[in-house]
Structure 1
Amino acid sequence: MSIKSFLSRQGQLIKPTELESLLSAKQRLAAVDASWYMPNNPRNGFKEFLTQGRLIRNARYLDVDEVKDPDSPYSHMLPSVEVFNQHAKRLGLPKDDPIIVYDNAGNFSAPRVAWMLEIFGNKNTLLLDNYVEYKAQGFPIDTAEIKEPVVEANVASFVSSALDKSRVILFEELKTIVEDPAQAARDYVIFDARPNGRFTGRDPEPRPGLSSGHVPTAISVPFPTVLDAASNNQFLSAAALREVFDKALGGKPLGDRQVIVMCGSGVTACVIERAVRIAGLTDKPVRVYDGSWT
């Protein structure tokens, strides 16, 4: 299969065997390690990138705690086009080569980074589904310990000209929607990717001082429910995902309603965003509430 066929696939996924075939054929690729962990997790994505190996030798590391709006008090608000381009240039994100995005947890933070590259206009982004399974199948990785990422010289950097606002929803608009429950129920579906205990308010949020609960009319779809634990958290099939969403919707057809997704800080919401696209649930853009519950 060609790169174009993967890019036109619902959800823009590439499977381990497909990626290995491309690498074996010497297909020119770039890779972005998007590994990130919750504040209460002692793992460190960048340290793992330096010491535990990478997908390919010239992989970059993109930290979602850095590539964000530096002036926002919230964890992962999208940066401006100018700030994004500064990071894209620093990382050497290529203009023309396919970019494979992955993480060490198996579809946890990589969907967020792939989504971010897409909405800033990169048309060559593919999400590896996933790196944990890729390694489990014994495919080669670069295991040399390094002190800093290797960035290729003389590669034209990707430059964003605009952010696709149709795939994002801001606080003011979401607030207006949920303040009118009738309109919210008629025109929108809001999926919340956090664990159900945090959604219901039974369990605390991992960030100190933040109460748990959910916005009015939201529906709980914890992000692990769209992943297959038996296959290292690869996405479920399109048919199985449609069953997950059908159950969440109580059997009521989505119809013409627009899907909004949120989570704790805008990371795992993108797991649900990707799952909705894989399932082919809607032809409308899925909108991520970037501020999420935070």
Structure 2
Amino acid sequence: MAIDDPKTLVSTAWLAAHLDDPDLRILDASYYLPDAGRDGRAEYAAAHIPGARYFDINEIADARSALPHMAAPPEKFMSRMRALGVGDGHQVVVYDGAGLFSAARVWWNFRLMGKTDIAVLDGGFPKWKAEGHPVEDMEPIIRDRHMTVQRQAHLVKDVTQVAAAAKLGDWQIVDARAAARFRGDAPEPRAGLRAGHIPGSKNVHYASLLNADGTMKSLDEMRAIFAAAEVDVNRRTITTCGSGVTAAIVMLALTRLGNADVALYDGSWTEWGQFEQLQVAKG
């Protein structure tokens, strides 16, 4: 059972109890890989938690980058949040249709902009529906709300910083991809990318941190999983994955374990895997 924390993770019971709070804002951040055959926006239109607004990870992003859904510049983030009626003084709860997949990315995105009153819904929309909580198909009435942001540069790393960390070993790098992709035994889902991992990185598949119902495992269970992967939960850490989505689940887990010094490699393997001058390790 989750220990409710409005800055990291809250249970469906917590959300149900606070659903009518005037300063609560709920975001549906459902996003799926192309091969999943699912459409997050269409699913939101069909049914969502009452009052939820749709956060489009691919649109609320840096359009100047050729990489997928890179974090949006502060001005764009602010304007999009205002259009969604999300602003200063709001407690935000973000969920997705997979249980816990893309919601953590939006949690990190808010923190990157200096907004810490945001939590991921443990178990997401599947758990909410399974427990018989209400859903609706109409979009909420939006009222503008001013938002001030202050970008927290220490929460994100670019390829140059990650390459330096890999060379110097002054940060531990944790890769959230499946073990076969990490080892280089399985091909990458995106064309043109080499197989393998960043030299010196450790592997903790994001799914290993989750229960079958999409909820996060207990703190003790997660601590044991990191220990088995030779990850020091107290050491400063860079998380990475395929395109910066599931890396945020590892960041969320480490944050819940008390590590306040975790950054996310936004370009992740989609960037690293395409540059021949960057070293790739296998095995």
Match runs of 1:220-235 below 5 Å: 220-229=203-212, 232-235=213-216
> 1:264·1:292 contact (CA, 8 Å) conserved in 2?
yes
Partner Cα distance (2:17, 2:84) in 1: 26
Provide the C-alpha distance between the structure 2 equivalents of 1:91 and 1:21, rounded to a whole number of angstroms. 23
**Alignment partner of 1:50 out of 9, 34, 45:** 45
Shift of 1:278: 1.6
Amino acid at match of 1:157: H
**1:41 maps onto 2:36 in alignment:** yes
Aligned letter for 1:234?
A: T
Number of the residue aligned with 1:247? 228
Q: Distance in 1 between matches of 2:55 and 2:85?
A: 11
Q: Look up the match of 1:76.
A: 69
Deviations 1:221-243 (A, max 9, x none): 111000011xx110001111100
- Unmatched runs of 5 consecutive residues or more in structure 1: none
Task: Work out which of the residue numbers 15, 21, 42 in structure 1 matches 2:17.
Answer: 21
Q: Which residue of 2 aligns with 1:67?
A: 60
Partner of 1:277: 255
Tell me the C-alpha RMSD between the 2 structures. Answer: 1.7
What's the secondary structure of 1:121's corresponding residue?
Answer: coil
Partner of 2:268: 292
C-alpha distance in 1 between matches for 2:9 and 2:176: 20
Distance 2:123 2:148 in 1: 27
Query: Does the Cα contact within 8 Å between 1:39 and 1:207 map onto a contact in 2?
Result: no
CA deviation after TM superposition for structure 1 residue 254, in Å: 5.2
- Counterparts in 2 of 1:78 and 1:235: CA distance versus 1, 3 Å: same
- In the alignment, the residues of structure 1 paired with residue 141 and residue 87 of structure 2 have an alpha-carbon distance, to the nearest angstrom, of 10
Residue 242 of structure 1 aligns with an amino acid whose one-letter code is R
Q: Work out whether residues 233 and 254 of structure 2, in 8 Å CA contact, stay in contact via their aligned partners in 1.
A: no
Q: Name stretches of at least 5 consecutive residues in structure 2 with no aligned partner.
A: 271-283
Give percent identity, aligned residues only: 32
Query: Partners in 1 of 2:165 and 2:121 — Cα distance?
Result: 34
Assess, with a 3 A threshold, how the Cα gap between structure 1 residues 235 and 254 changes in structure 2: closer, same or farther.
closer
Between the aligned partners of 2:66 and 2:38, the Cα distance in structure 1 is 24
- Measured after TM superposition, the shift of residue 210 of structure 1 is 1.7
Matched, 1:176 2:125: no
How far has the Cα of 1:115 moved from its partner? 1.1
Aligned pairs for 1:134-213 (under 5 A) are 134-142=128-136, 144=137, 146=138, 149-153=139-143, 155-160=144-149, 162-178=150-166, 180=167, 183-184=168-169, 187-213=170-196
Contact 1:60 1:151 in 2 (8 A): no
Give the aligned length.
265
Deviation at residue 177 of structure 1 after TM alignment: 2.0
Q: Indicate the SS of the match to 1:7.
A: coil
Using the size of structure 1 for normalisation, the TM-score is 0.85
Per the alignment, do residues 151 and 208 of structure 1 end up closer, same or farther by CA in structure 2, a change over 3 Å counting?
farther
Equivalent residues of 1:76, 1:291 under 8 A apart: no
Could you tell me whether the CA contact under 8 Å between 1:39 and 1:206 is conserved in 2? Answer: no
In structure 2, the residue matched to 1:31 is 26
SS in 2 for 1:40: helix
Report what 2:114 is aligned to: 121
**For residues 151 and 84 of structure 1, what CA distance do their matches in structure 2 show?**
20
- C-alpha distance in 1, partners of 2:90/2:74? 20
| Amino acid in structure 1 at the alignment position of 2:218 | S
**Cα contact 2:10–2:119 (8 A) shared by 1:** yes
